[in-house]
Copies of this chain bind each other. A is one copy, B any other.
């Protein structure tokens, strides 16, 4: 990865993940504050080995567009908290019924279903609090509001939650390519696109630049989901995930299930190339975004 440039992606990623982890630890309510169980459950899932991809996309777009300093941190963390809440709820027995995630027992296995539901609710609520409060302190109010609107739209009933609902409804059903793209662009794509867009908005990017970054984010977000499903299918990643079986085995409408591995790999590669092209020629500051596209394409976990 990063072979075509001298840019060192690993150092870049590590530095940003460290900043995000430290900020999340600072922001989240301490475990010894009441209600302790809830706060423990919130932190358990947030610090369970997430790759912080959404915060990194957000920070990379922020920096590429000329942003500096910590103003973007509450936004970056908010995106990770929304991702985390969605995983907790997706893992519930009434949803995907997953006992394990990232090699650790899922929230409801550790804390019980009721606390898992409420920990998800609290994380979603806290994600919004971070943007409107800490974000509102560090950015001008109009920018903070605009970012909060982007995030709520990406996470809501025409965004991530829509993807989740359709994903369930289409289990063991025939789906065409357009429905598939609808589902996957929402399940993962919209929040990743919002991550890139929010970073750019925080830095004051103009509409032309924002358009390019939206294209980058939406292509890469969809590629990310397809590659996830390819890795699931090939088993290299899946065996770590769950004892209950993979999305494919569960009858979910994944790209590799519906179109086969080869066509899925080609689709992902095409999307990644589109994403890289969208930020091509925008200058040195956009090199990390280009490298992140390559990283998404080449990841094997």
Which residues of A are interface residues toward B (Cβ below 8 A)? 29, 33-35, 37-39, 42, 85, 89, 92, 94-95, 112-115, 117-118, 120-122, 124-126, 128-129, 132-133, 136, 140-142, 144-146, 148-149, 152-153, 155-158, 161-162, 164-166, 168-169, 182
24 contacts between A and B (CB under 8 A): A34-B182, A35-B157, A35-B166, A38-B161, A89-B117, A92-B117, A94-B112, A94-B114, A95-B114, A95-B117, A118-B164, A120-B121, A125-B155, A128-B128, A128-B148, A129-B153, A129-B156, A132-B132, A132-B148, A132-B152, A133-B145, A136-B146, A141-B141, A141-B144
Are A38 and B165 in contact, with the CB atoms below 8 A?
A: yes
Q: Is the CB of A125 within 8 A of B89?
A: no
Q: Which residue of the partner chain B has the closest CB to A124?
A: B124
Cα(A152)–Cα(B133), bound, Å: 9
Q: Are the CB atoms of A156 and B125 closer together than 8 Å? A: yes
Known: A95-B117, A152-B133. A157 touches B29 (CB 8 A): yes
The contact of A157 among B89, B92, B122, by CB within 8 Å, is: B122
